[in-house]
Structure 1
């Protein structure tokens, strides 16, 4: 039995049966409207040939990193960097045709898999930046630096692409407020403290990995924070745009896309994780909250008890 404050999302047997019936499978070329806002429960390689052309505004990819790891019933084993690069190319190359000419692509990896991701991405896209985000979880190492950072490669199909910098500004606590003749300079006084709106950079230190007391938490071993997806979706897709995630996991991309009024297509081979995504999509019907995002700005971690603002 879970502790009283444990809010981890899990499935009952009845829910598993119910959500399983919502999942779809492809065995022929699909029209966009037949897969829009749906979860495809299949191995990615089974559906690559059936996805429609030039329909995706934003491709978010969080593939298994080059590590030995267990994902429910699926085991992933570490391979050479060259073999990992070939594996990435085997699914990224076919996905290119699904992208609109002005689409953006985000590829996630750790320090070991990141070089392979960059190499393959460079073959098909314009690589525009490397985002590094702080993953504060993890054990310390006795003979090495603790690994608490991951990379996200930001790419575009062409030089014409959507990017809304104003939608992803960060509200930071001002610890040494500067005034000009007594008035705030580039910051504001509020009842909760002094804050400054800053442009989003490629270094993200304001994220919290989902854990047991957070309402977005699941038992997926590599779940990304909803706040991370919110930054990417708001910056690189228009309202009503189509977001594709070919390694959906427990559904964070689909859920955040729904909360932010985008369409989504999710592909996940594990049925239990795919059903978890469906349950989270149901929960998003009654709550559009994204922890750390409020009043159309992102809040610096622990700078403000912003949860109060989200209570009814």
Structure 2
């Protein structure tokens, strides 16, 4: 009996596809994309053009692609593209959607109705927001991003340690202060803004670093000036862009072509979950340390603990593991590998260096 071979269509990686996002999404393979970042039309409810005090017109408030006849028309469009997006997203995939008060609440409700499970809403605080020129409302100094998974309970990517490192070893919060794309970052064409709503690369850098891994596929159904593609290339991710305006495609492609991908070394981040576990006692067995040898406490090197033959440390009447004794001396939670020093050639070094030597031997 001859088996039937099913050929899965290949993804158009690192390409910008021109056309209607809903039609193109429906043409892509199901369950094929790791992450979606979407910056859809905001449906700005402005009745007239908006002008600055110097009578210059404000961009991005009169574009045809951002006009809908009614809330119901906008809701129908939103439901349709989100449904198509959910189809191509992998079972463990996630989606980010950015918006303002004009649309984000409607988008969030529709996402929940379609089965997305919201993980976070992240506030983008604009450190240099556009003023409210008419002086009738508060200055709109933020936009909201909804981060959701396709399927509740599925294992999704969240690089907690990478985001913590990016934030000076403090847990990353859900309010991100990032300036608008201005100056050299602002893409221009013939001396004017190439795209009225270009998002800053710093925003996409956090999105992609937090919720994708190297080699993952990131899809942007409203590609615009190509910020998602530029950052994806820089971080070693694959992208798929969808954009209906040929003018924007030309701008985005030129921008992405100029980006240099980061080196493999720079993109390979340590993951302690995948590292070989090395108990402290292994350092004794390997001969890197010896029973009776003294270790120095990092916060106060005058405190010296004796290494016992079973791998515990003894300081005065206190006995415990490298972690337990360090915690008692520091009066708080600490990592013993970082808190104890050994002496080599007259210099004090952290014992974690010895652990790395053991790992190299085991590898």
TM over 0.5: yes
Q: 1:107 aligns with which of 97, 102, 105?
A: 97
For 2:165 and 2:104, how far apart are their aligned partners in 1?
A: 26
Displacement of 1:58 = 0.4
Which residue pairs with 2:87 in the alignment?
97
Provide closer, same or farther for how the CA distance between residues 53 and 64 of structure 1 changes in structure 2, counting only shifts above 3 A: same
1:152 aligns with 2:127: no
Which residue pairs with 2:180 in the alignment?
209
**SS at the partner of 2:250?**
helix
Provide closer, same or farther for how the CA distance between residues 208 and 288 of structure 1 changes in structure 2, counting only shifts above 3 A: farther
Provide closer, same or farther for how the CA distance between residues 109 and 215 of structure 1 changes in structure 2, counting only shifts above 3 A: closer
Q: 1:267 aligns with which of 239, 242, 246?
A: 242
Displacement of 1:170 = 6.4
CA deviation digits over 1:81-140, x for unaligned, max 9? 343222200111122110111001101110121111111111221011111111232122
For 1:57 and 1:111, how far apart are their aligned partners in 2?
A: 27
For 2:165 and 2:71, how far apart are their aligned partners in 1?
A: 35
Which residue pairs with 2:171 in the alignment?
199
Which residue pairs with 2:40 in the alignment?
63
For 1:74 and 1:279, how far apart are their aligned partners in 2?
A: 25
**SS at the partner of 1:65?**
coil
**SS at the partner of 1:147?**
coil
Which residue pairs with 1:301 in the alignment?
none
1:43 aligns with 2:20: yes
CA RMSD of aligned residues (A): 2.9
Which residue pairs with 2:163 in the alignment?
168
Displacement of 1:143 = 1.8
Provide closer, same or farther for how the CA distance between residues 146 and 272 of structure 1 changes in structure 2, counting only shifts above 3 A: same
**Which structure ranks higher in relative contact order (CA pairs < 8 Å, sequence separation ≥ 6)?**
1
For 2:215 and 2:198, how far apart are their aligned partners in 1?
A: 25
Is the contact between residue 43 and residue 68 of structure 2 (CA under 8 Å) also seen in structure 1? Answer: yes
**SS at the partner of 1:133?**
strand
Report how many residues are paired. Answer: 239
Is the contact between residue 259 and residue 288 of structure 1 (CA under 8 Å) also seen in structure 2? Answer: yes
CA deviation digits over 1:264-312, x for unaligned, max 9? 1000001111111111111103x759xxxx9x9xxxxxxxxxxxxxxxx
Provide closer, same or farther for how the CA distance between residues 72 and 240 of structure 1 changes in structure 2, counting only shifts above 3 A: farther
**SS at the partner of 2:183?**
coil
CA deviation digits over 1:42-84, x for unaligned, max 9? 1213323211111100011100101167599844325443432
Provide closer, same or farther for how the CA distance between residues 235 and 65 of structure 1 changes in structure 2, counting only shifts above 3 A: same
For 1:50 and 1:231, how far apart are their aligned partners in 2?
A: 29
Provide closer, same or farther for how the CA distance between residues 171 and 257 of structure 1 changes in structure 2, counting only shifts above 3 A: closer
Provide closer, same or farther for how the CA distance between residues 48 and 213 of structure 1 changes in structure 2, counting only shifts above 3 A: closer
Which residue pairs with 1:187 in the alignment?
none
Which residue pairs with 2:293 in the alignment?
none
- TM-score under structure 1 normalisation? 0.69
For 1:87 and 1:143, how far apart are their aligned partners in 2?
A: 30
Is the contact between residue 158 and residue 210 of structure 2 (CA under 8 Å) also seen in structure 1? Answer: yes
For 1:89 and 1:150, how far apart are their aligned partners in 2?
A: 21
Is the contact between residue 30 and residue 50 of structure 1 (CA under 8 Å) also seen in structure 2? Answer: no
Which residue pairs with 2:51 in the alignment?
none
Structure 1 unaligned regions, length at least 5: 1-28, 173-195, 297-312
- TM-score under structure 2 normalisation? 0.60
For 1:266 and 1:156, how far apart are their aligned partners in 2?
A: 20
Question: What does 1:217-228 correspond to in 2, within 5 Å?
Answer: 219-228=194-203
Which residue pairs with 1:255 in the alignment?
230
